[in-house]
Amino acid sequence: MNEQRFETGETPHVMLKTSQQDVTISSWIRPAVTVGGTAFTAESPEADLVVVSGDAPLTIQLPRHSRLTIDSVAGSLTIKHVAGLIKIGQVQGRLQLKQVGGTQVDVVEGELQAENLDGPFRAGEVAQHATIRNATDVQIDRAHTAVSLRYVNGRVTLGEVGGDLEAHTIGGSLQMQRSSGGARLGNLGGQLNLPAATGDVWLVGGLAPGEHTITTQNSIFVYWPSQAPLNLVATGGDVFSTLPLRQAADTVEDDQMTLTGYIKDRKTFLILKTPGRIGLTTWDDSGAPAFAPADFERPPAPVAPPAAPAAPAAPDAAPAQQPAAALETAVSRAVAAVLSRLTLELGAEWGRRCAAVELEDRLAAAITRELSSLAPAPAQAAVDASPAPSPGTAAFTQAETAVRRLLQKIEDSIDRARQKLAATPNNEDGAV
């Protein structure tokens, strides 16, 4: 084995032009660069610049804060304990990074394994499995197979992912443009945006305030802390939740069910969309979740006991009175259903503005007061009078009628505003 040494400063620039075999690069404490192998060329055309090419396996040692530029490696590439900027063109084998600084790589045709990255990491294309641990910002434009990320302090930006995504403990936002697989997500600290997944998506834990979106072609399963804030709009072929949602309401339209409701302050807006199944259940750090669809099964319907024969009513019995709580519940559900449909049509920003002014609560209270004031006084029942509807049915019917009128007024106002905007001519000179 031959070895060549170049005396340098603490921050030299080392350029590897080509290598036909595996390459290992690591740092040492000396202000010098050494190159070892059986077939290579190395030169230093100027101070603090070393240029290397090789036809056999290479070993390079350099100062820790060196800068690396690597054009092409036909085998595998391993870089350890290099704090300077690293730029890599193409690696045909596996790329392994350990305790390195900011790194940019164009193409990795093998696996990517990276850990303890003290700087942003960006990859243009990774052909095989990508695993990243303990990093800052991470960007991968295209991954042909699965991607696994853990302990990322900053943002994660993914383009097209050809397999499953695993992301756990991400400090910043997580965005993935498109995926041919599913995802398992947990302990996310920033905005979540998955607009086009294909497989099952699992979400564990709460989310930061803001808007979060998950859209997939298969199932969505959410383990959510019972006390974590949430403003939910979930639309799927079947939606089931055991979360303690306030003002929970579900509607069905075109074979799609939409569930809305909130926990606490509504600042965490979560939008779930799929033609398949959506399940949400409580999870309060009582051990790792099972990631099992059985956790989201609907409980079997209880078997009703045989009905006892009704006792004859006393001739002078007073008619049953409708509890105020039943009327309030019916109105709240109807209002929530209306606002959820409008949120889906007009967008999340409209929903956030409604939540900011507590529009849902105020509408429900106003309609409840109006219906209560219109309730007729009890009348003496005639002997041959037809049976009156149940109090719950009457309350819900009144609430539904009132909310339908309100919805029509809102839709009319929106149509008038749209017509006015469409009729306004473009003003190119800026005049009012």
Dump pLDDT digits (tens) for 270-300. 999 999 999 999 998 777 888 999 989 888 7
pLDDT at 384 over 50: no
Average of per-residue pLDDT across 337-357 = 67
d(C-alpha 139, C-alpha 108), whole Å? 14
Distance CA 130, CA 112 (A): 5
Whether residue 185 is predicted with pLDDT greater than 80 in this model: the reply is yes
- CA torsion, ordered 272, 277, 278, 280, to nearest 10 deg: -170
Q: Give the pLDDT confidence score for residue 365 in this predicted structure.
A: 74
Model pLDDT for residues 24-40, shown as the tens digit of each residue? 999 999 999 999 999 99
Distance CA 55, CA 57 (A): 7
At residue 289, the pLDDT reads 87
Give me the torsion for CA of 244, 215, 359, 255, rounded to 10°: -80
> Per residue in 351-379, pLDDT tens?
667 766 677 777 777 777 766 665 554 44
Three-class SS of 365-401: HHHHHHHHHHCCCCCCCCCCCCCCCCHHHHHHHHHHH
- Indicate the average pLDDT of the chain: 85
> What pLDDT shows up at residue 184?
97
- Minimal CA–CA distance to 271: which of 259, 284, 253? 259
Q: What's the pTM value of the predicted model, to 2 decimals?
A: 0.74
Q: Which residue(s) pair with 186 in the sheet?
A: 168, 204
pLDDT top residue among 432 and 17: 17
245 within 8 A of 262, measured Cβ to Cβ: yes
Beta strands 2-7 and 32-37: pairing type?
antiparallel
Amino acid letter at 350?
A: W
| Mean pLDDT to the nearest integer, 237-255 | 93
Distance CA 237, CA 257 (A): 6
Q: Would you say residue 61 has pLDDT above 60?
A: yes
Nearest to 150 by CA among 106, 109, 116: 116
**In the beta sheet, which residues pair with residue 167?**
149, 185
- Structural domain boundaries of the chain? 200-296, 324-373+391-416
Residue 392 — pLDDT band, cuts 50, 70, 90? low
Q: How confident is the model at residue 389 (pLDDT cuts 50, 70, 90)?
A: low
Q: Tell me, what's the pLDDT at 416?
A: 72
Greater confidence (76 vs 303) lies with: 76
How confident is the model over 47-59, as pLDDT tens digits?
A: 999 999 999 999 9
The dihedral sign for the CA sequence 232, 237, 243, 244 = positive
Share of the chain above pLDDT 90, in %: 64
pLDDT value at position 254?
87
| Contact criterion met (CB below 8 Å) for 54 and 23 | yes
Other beta carbons within 10 angstroms of residue 26's beta carbon come to: 16
- What is the rounded average pLDDT of the residues 211-216? 97
Looking at residue 108, its amino acid is V
Predicted local distance difference test score (pLDDT) of residue 186: 95
Residue-level pLDDT at 330 = 67
Q: According to the model, what pLDDT value does residue 284 have? A: 84
Query: From CA 98, how far away is CA 430, in angstroms rounded?
Result: 58
Secondary structure of the chain in the HEC alphabet?
Answer: CEEEEEECCCCCEEEEEEECCCEEEEEECCCEEEEEECCEEEEEEECCEEEEEECCCEEEEEECCCEEEEEEECCCEEEEEECCCEEEEEECCCEEEEEECCEEEEEECCCEEEEEECCCEEEEEECCCEEEEEECCEEEEEECCCEEEEEECCCEEEEEECCCEEEEEECCCEEEEEECCCEEEEEECCCEEECCCCCCEEEECCCCCEEEEEECCCCEEEEECCCCCEEEEEEECEEEECCCCEEEEEEEECCEEEEEEEECCCCEEEEEECCCEEEEEECCCCCCCCCCHHHHCCCCCCCCCCCCCCCCCCCCCCCCCCCHHHHHHHHHHHHHHHHHHHHHHHCHHHHHHHHHCCHHHHHHHHHHHHHHHHCCCCCCCCCCCCCCCCHHHHHHHHHHHHHHHHHHHHHHHHHHHHHHHHHCCCCCCCCC
Q: Give the model confidence (pLDDT) of 410-423 as tens digits.
A: 767 777 766 766 67
- What b-and-e string marks burial along 149-180, b requiring 16 or more CB atoms within 10 Å of the CB? bbebebbbbbbbbbbbbbbbbbbbbbbbeebe
Instruction: Say whether pLDDT at 1 is over 80.
Output: no
- The residue among 384 and 74 whose pLDDT is bigger is 74
Among candidate residues 8, 4, 50, the one with its CA nearest the CA of residue 32: 8
Q: How many whole angstroms separate alpha carbon 27 and alpha carbon 264?
A: 52
